[in-house]
Amino acid sequence: MTQPDTDTIVAIATAPGRGGVGIVRLSGPRALAVASALMPASRTLAPRHAHFSSFRDAEGQLIDEGLVLYFPGPKSFTGEDVVELQGHGGPVLLDQLVQACIRQGARQARPGEFSMRAFLNDRMDLTQAEGIADLIDAGTVAAARAAVGSLRGAFSDAVNNLVEQLIQLRIYVEAAIDFPEEEIDFLSDGKVAGDLNDLIHATAEVLATARRGSLLREGMTLVIAGRPNAGKSSLLNALAGNDVAIVTDIAGTTRDVLRETIQLDGMPLNLIDTAGLRESPDVVEQEGIRRAWQAIEQADRILLVVDSTTVTPAQLDQPDQLLPEGQRTLSSLGIPLTLVLNKADLSGLPPGIQTNHPDTLAISAAHGNGLDALREYLKQSVGFHSGESSPFSARRRHLSALELALTSLQHGARQLGDHAAGELLAEDLRGAQRALEEITGVFSADDLLGRIFSSFCIGK
Ligand SMILES: Nc1nc2c(ncn2[C@@H]2O[C@H](COP(=O)(O)OP(=O)(O)OP(=O)(O)O)[C@@H](O)[C@H]2O)c(=O)[nH]1
Ligand SMILES: [K+]
Ligand SMILES: [Mg+2]
């Protein structure tokens, strides 16, 4: 496992720009020495007390004056000696303070390096470190509450509980393998099957909660696709409540991929409007259509918009027929799809859910009819309820790890049914544990740590 290096690091900890107060943070074995070099020689710093002091560069030039706080390790954020210099919040001024610290032997911190040291020094686990980043980045109150939950360890607790149950089961199974003379026929032993089943349920539950947490954080990506002039851009504008996209009656108006994020009762929705799909001799439009397909492939859900005055009832159950000849098929992508029958004002369709066709709604993007039903439908399609919160925030990597653990456990359960060798079950349980421990960072590849922490900003 990576060890924290012994450099003393420094960075501006407050947001870039001007503010009343700006904080420069030092961490490492020489934090106190570096900070002291900027202050009058007579200054001694009592731990966890605010001291007022001047800050000077190596030439004795006054940079600023403000408060100094010293947190001796290991009871500090990073687990190392930490000193905070709180000056006035000007970018040039704070940079001078950082440069003065560097002159005294500190090094500029890399993105996320303070949090990474806190993790490596066991001050927190990975989900807590990620909780800090998510809290800072939270775009909604619900997302911020979920991130605080992670920060306080709610996610780690849930995962550690699963690991604990898993270890108990592994001990039993491995013992049965190692001591066959004991004649514990654990394969037909109801205890193993029962415990495994409990574990599968508990893991599925944590996964469901994590999915909600991830939804609050990242939202859902909806790609609006369809033939030219179906009313895709009109739908984007109607949902965004803003004229983000150009709407005209000319087929092929939209060329670029347009992105707009909206909130649906606290759930972020990333809406993407695309060029109308058709064969076109125009090279600009061709490029737009290529990009449209690129966006479609990345969608969490596709909103296939069709002009309801042009469709026949038979086409409704075969979405691929709703695109012109020569286009790729949507059904082969395996992405959830909603059929939006637009221009209901012209076709006379009743706006809202079409009860005899699943995942089909009629709307009038131009007049706003059926949009409330569409919003409600979108929330329900992902299991999101208004005002919902999640006890913790989660990221894609957490979901993948939980999914992997669940698949391993389910695979293990099938081994039981097949009366196969216990080694196979043991292997599945080991795999599940590894996946779960990757979430909290008990088990982690070095490059995973690098990837996670480098996505944090400098000073975090
Ligand atoms: N009557 C009626 N007209 C609509 C409705 N929605 C869109 N339109 C009209 O249909 C035409 C095309 O609308 P757009 O939103 O530009 O369609 P688009 O699918 O984005 O078109 P491209 O970008 O060219 O692919 C415009 O003249 C809109 O005013 C609707 O609900 N009812
Ligand atoms: K158009
Ligand atoms: Mg358009």
Q: Counting beta carbons within 10 angstroms of the beta carbon of residue 282, is it exposed (0 to 12), middle (13 to 18) or buried (19 or more)? A: exposed
User: Is the CB of residue 232 below 6 angstroms from any atom belonging to ligand 1?
Assistant: yes
Q: Which of 62, 89, 124 is the last residue of a domain?
A: 124
Nearest CA to ligand 1 atom 7: 231
**13: Cα within 13 Å, side-chain hemisphere:** 18
In percent, the amount of the chain with pLDDT more than 70 equals: 93
Mean residue pLDDT across the chain: 89
Q: How far apart, in Å, do the first and last CA atoms of the chain sit?
A: 21
Strands 9-12 and 107-108: parallel
Is 151 part of a structural domain of the chain?
Answer: yes
Ligand positioned closest to the Cα atom of 366 = 1
Is 458 part of a structural domain of the chain?
Answer: no
Bridge partners, 54 (sequence order): 65
Q: What is the pLDDT of residue 1?
A: 45
84 is in an annotated binding site: yes
User: Is the CB of residue 206 below 6 angstroms from any atom belonging to ligand 1?
Assistant: no
Is 451 part of a structural domain of the chain?
Answer: no
- pLDDT tier at 180, thresholds 50, 70, 90: low
273 is in an annotated binding site: yes
Distance CA 155, CA 393 (A): 8
- Which of the pair, 362 or 210, is modelled with greater confidence? 362
Ligand 1 binding pocket mutation candidate from 234, 278, 296 (most atoms within 8 A of CB): 234
Query: Looking at the structure, do residues 345 and 370 belong to the same domain, yes or no?
Result: yes
List Cα–Cα distances, 267 to 9, 132, 264, in angstroms: 37, 20, 5
- The answer, yes or no, to whether ipTM is higher than 0.85 is yes
Query: Looking at the structure, do residues 83 and 176 belong to the same domain, yes or no?
Result: no
User: Is the CB of residue 249 below 6 angstroms from any atom belonging to ligand 1?
Assistant: yes
288 is in an annotated binding site: no
Query: Looking at the structure, do residues 74 and 114 belong to the same domain, yes or no?
Result: yes
439 is in an annotated binding site: no
The Å distance, Cα 228 to ligand 2 centre, comes to: 6
Bridge partners, 369 (sequence order): 364
As for how many domains the chain has, the answer is 3
For the whole model, what pTM was predicted?
Answer: 0.69
CATH number of residue 44's parent domain? 3.30.1360.120
CATH number of residue 433's parent domain? 1.20.120.430
Query: Looking at the structure, do residues 179 and 193 belong to the same domain, yes or no?
Result: yes
Query: Looking at the structure, do residues 312 and 425 belong to the same domain, yes or no?
Result: no
Q: At what angle do helices 446-454 and 113-120 cross, to 10 degrees?
A: 140
List, in order, residues 6 or more apart from 9 with CB less than 8 Å away.
26, 27, 28, 106, 107, 108, 109, 110, 113, 114, 117
Query: Looking at the structure, do residues 227 and 376 belong to the same domain, yes or no?
Result: yes
Q: What is the pLDDT of residue 185?
A: 63
Greatest Cα-to-Cα distance within the chain, rounded to the nearest angstrom:
87
Query: Looking at the structure, do residues 223 and 368 belong to the same domain, yes or no?
Result: yes
Residue span of the structural domain in which 111 resides: 9-124
Is 455 part of a structural domain of the chain?
Answer: no
Nearest CA to ligand 1 atom 26: 249
User: Is the CB of residue 365 below 6 angstroms from any atom belonging to ligand 1?
Assistant: yes
Ligand positioned closest to the Cα atom of 249 = 1
Ligand positioned closest to the Cα atom of 278 = 1
Ligand 1 atom closest to residue 273's alpha carbon, by position in its atom list = 20
Is 106 part of a structural domain of the chain?
Answer: yes
- Give mean pLDDT, residues 238-250: 96
Least confident of 100-114, 232-246, 380-394, 423-437: 380-394
Q: Please say if the pLDDT value at position 232 is more than 90.
A: yes
The Å distance, Cα 307 to ligand 2 centre, comes to: 12
Query: Looking at the structure, do residues 249 and 108 belong to the same domain, yes or no?
Result: no
Determine contact, residues 362/351, Cβ cutoff 8 Å.
yes
CATH number of residue 353's parent domain? 3.40.50.300
